[in-house]
Amino acid sequence: MAAAAAAAHILPPFDIFSQPGEREAENPNDTLQVIWQYHVDEPASAAALLPAEGAVRGTRPLYLVQRDFQQRRSFSGLGRKQEPEPVLHEWELSNAQVRLPNDQDTLLQCRVFSLPKITRKHHVVRYEPVIQPGSLAYLHHMTLYECRGDEAKLNEAKRTNGSSCSSTDWLHAQCNTIAATWNLGSEGFNYPPEAGYALDPYNGPRFYMLETHYSNPQLDNFVTDNSGLKLLYTDKLRTHDAGVLSVGIDPNWRHIIPPGQPEVISEGHCIARCTGDTVPDSGVNVFAVIMHTHQLGKKVRLRQIRDGKEMPPIAADASYDPSYQEYRRLQRPAKVLPGDHLIAECTYSSRTRQTITLGGLTTKEETCLVSALYYPRIDLSLCYSLPALPTVLHSLGIDKLEGPSPLKIMSPPELRGMTLEERLVTYDWQSNFQTFADATRQGTFKPLCSNTKGTILPETSIESHYPRILWPYQDPKVPCTRKPQRNKLSMLLSEDGDIGGAESDESNAVERGQLVRNKVSRSSDASSLAAGSATRCASVALVLALLAAAL
């Protein structure tokens, strides 16, 4: 049988600038949709496309220039050898025969675990999902939280197989600092060589809670699951203890997304007072982030304001895909200093929605969250905000409410007697969207900053205004002017008059690939073809098509 032929295309096409050390905004790594196709038969000719009948095709979101953290290497004399990898122990935290209800589309399941039997501090260097075959379609995210509080009660909960989180509200009061998280599309995470998550039997938490978000929109029957997370840890300690800081909007009805809009921007604030009280003078180093929205998310940024100046975003994705929430490893750590104001900014598209979408935990509701992995660890775990109630009422044209339930409008007179729910449902969002957006942006919000014990930091819950930005950040327009180095492959391409001419386009990419394959097969110096070239401007669509066809 002939070797399978393949082709790939990238949407949107972009140019590669992979200079180490450039900030993420200057060298964006947005989510790209890779359109792929393969067939067991070769094309009929060099100019032909892959046969349509019998072809296997699909799409896959990817971070094309994502780099994983590499193992440290040691050098001995002129030779180079890799350090022996430390012995890794596994800690698997799995659900136990969770049965999804067939009368509701969302289930949050909580299960408590105790720390492995270790007698000294260890570092987690990797964690990954353990997904039961057939369960991926029902999993939205899994989050492991540290638990600090009533250990007798936690030990009692550990003896059970878990239950719905809604029936154990007390758990979230004691388990609120993220230790590890998996979201839809992620394959797990490797810590950088200089940091690891600490498992400490003496100075750290002794209990953990696994929260699993199941989604069953079709209300399928007889679905059970045993999925979970696997943590790999070692007693060979790294330089820094790593932590996770959650920045975003508190899941709450005050987070309102009007219907029928191409773009709705929501922002969650980590105010300067929160970082000023917890971040050391030397700062902390953010080395990775994971972004999280539900179905309407289209763009996400983690912004950074310092002394009135907006810095380049710590991370940004202008082509965010809710079905692909993988970790984003920064090319170099971003420094956060005391007094920095962080903003998790989420842009949604609600074109397909006929009614408002509110903030919440189910996938039909929305959320805006960026989890930042950093070192050294500090005593700050959650840095949220939510719009203040007066801001929400003002954005809806309401002056005063009376209650209790149902809340009714007292003024203005033309709305008197209408309930708040009726106002939300009947509001003319199309005509008043900009007024709503301006009122939300210019109004006050309530910060929510808590430490690893779940305690709200003093004087951080006072209603605040949007930070004053004297020097806004402007996205740089980097010209594509660098001249590529010429290796054997680039010379072969430049010598062929049928490749790269002014009349060429994506339609003959397969033909170009066939020509390259023929030339490569005639070359006796295969190693020189694989030699790395310097940073260059190239269409990724063409590069992948050439490489795929040359296989």
Q: For the segment 202-251, what is each residue's pLDDT rounded down to a tens digit?
A: 999 999 999 999 999 999 999 999 999 999 999 999 999 999 999 999 99
First to last CA, the chain: 15
- Rounded to whole angstroms, the Cα distance separating 213 from 109 reads 7
What's the whole-number average pLDDT of the chain? 82
Within 302-414, residue ranges assigned H as helices are 389-395
Q: Please report, for the chain, the start and end positions of each structural domain, with discontinuous segments joined by +.
A: 88-238, 242-388+446-475, 395-442
Question: Cβ atoms within 10 A of the Cβ of 130, count?
Answer: 18
- Please check the confidence at residue 483 and state whether its pLDDT lies above 60: no
Residue that wins the pLDDT comparison between 57 and 177: 177
Tens of pLDDT, residue by residue over 292-348, are: 999 999 999 999 999 999 999 999 999 999 888 888 899 899 999 999 999 999 999
Give residue 41's pLDDT.
75
The CATH number of the domain covering residues in 88-238: 2.60.120.310
Q: What mean pLDDT comes out for the span 34-38?
A: 79
- Please check the confidence at residue 517 and state whether its pLDDT lies above 70: no
CATH fold group of domain 242-388+446-475: Jelly Rolls (2.60.120)
- Rounded to whole angstroms, the Cα distance separating 196 from 360 reads 31
- Rounded to whole angstroms, the Cα distance separating 120 from 201 reads 6
Question: Cβ atoms within 10 A of the Cβ of 329, count?
Answer: 19
Ranges 57-66, 120-129, 411-420, 473-482: which has the least confidence: 473-482
Residue that wins the pLDDT comparison between 349 and 328: 349
Give residue 518's pLDDT.
37
Tens of pLDDT, residue by residue over 423-480, are: 999 999 999 999 999 999 999 999 999 998 888 888 788 899 999 999 999 887 655 5
Residue that wins the pLDDT comparison between 198 and 495: 198
Give residue 525's pLDDT.
39
Give residue 83's pLDDT.
65
- Rounded to whole angstroms, the Cα distance separating 145 from 276 reads 25
Give residue 101's pLDDT.
93
| Sign (positive or negative) of CA dihedral 291, 297, 299, 303 | negative
> Which stretch of DSSP H or E encloses residue 546?
helix 540-550
- Please check the confidence at residue 19 and state whether its pLDDT lies above 60: no
- Please check the confidence at residue 280 and state whether its pLDDT lies above 90: yes
- What are 318's two structure tokens? 């202008």
CA 427 to the chain's CA centroid: 33
- Rounded to whole angstroms, the Cα distance separating 95 from 17 reads 43
Location of structure tokens 């020189």: 528
Q: What mean pLDDT comes out for the span 120-140?
A: 95
Give residue 60's pLDDT.
72
- Rounded to whole angstroms, the Cα distance separating 506 from 35 reads 13
- Please check the confidence at residue 548 and state whether its pLDDT lies above 70: no
- Please check the confidence at residue 536 and state whether its pLDDT lies above 60: no
Give residue 145's pLDDT.
96
Is the pTM higher than 0.85? The answer reads: no
Give residue 114's pLDDT.
96
Contacts with 420 (C-beta within 8 Å, 6 or more apart), sequence order: 398, 401, 406, 407, 408, 409
- What are 15's two structure tokens? 């140019």
Location of structure tokens 């190239």: 538
Query: CA 521 → CA 494, 495, 514, distances in Å?
Result: 17, 16, 11
- Rounded to whole angstroms, the Cα distance separating 523 from 466 reads 62
**307 Ramachandran zone, left/alpha/beta (phi>0; psi -120 to 50):** left
Q: 358 pairs with which residues across the strands?
A: 256
Matching CATH topology for 88-238 and 242-388+446-475?
yes
What is the pLDDT confidence band of residue 496, given thresholds at 50, 70 and 90? Answer: very low
Residue that wins the pLDDT comparison between 234 and 549: 234
Give residue 463's pLDDT.
92
- Please check the confidence at residue 71 and state whether its pLDDT lies above 70: no
- The one-letter code for the residue type at 195 is A
Give residue 275's pLDDT.
96
Contacts with 352 (C-beta within 8 Å, 6 or more apart), sequence order: none
Residue that wins the pLDDT comparison between 484 and 378: 378
Q: 7 pairs with which residues across the strands?
A: 37
Give residue 48's pLDDT.
65
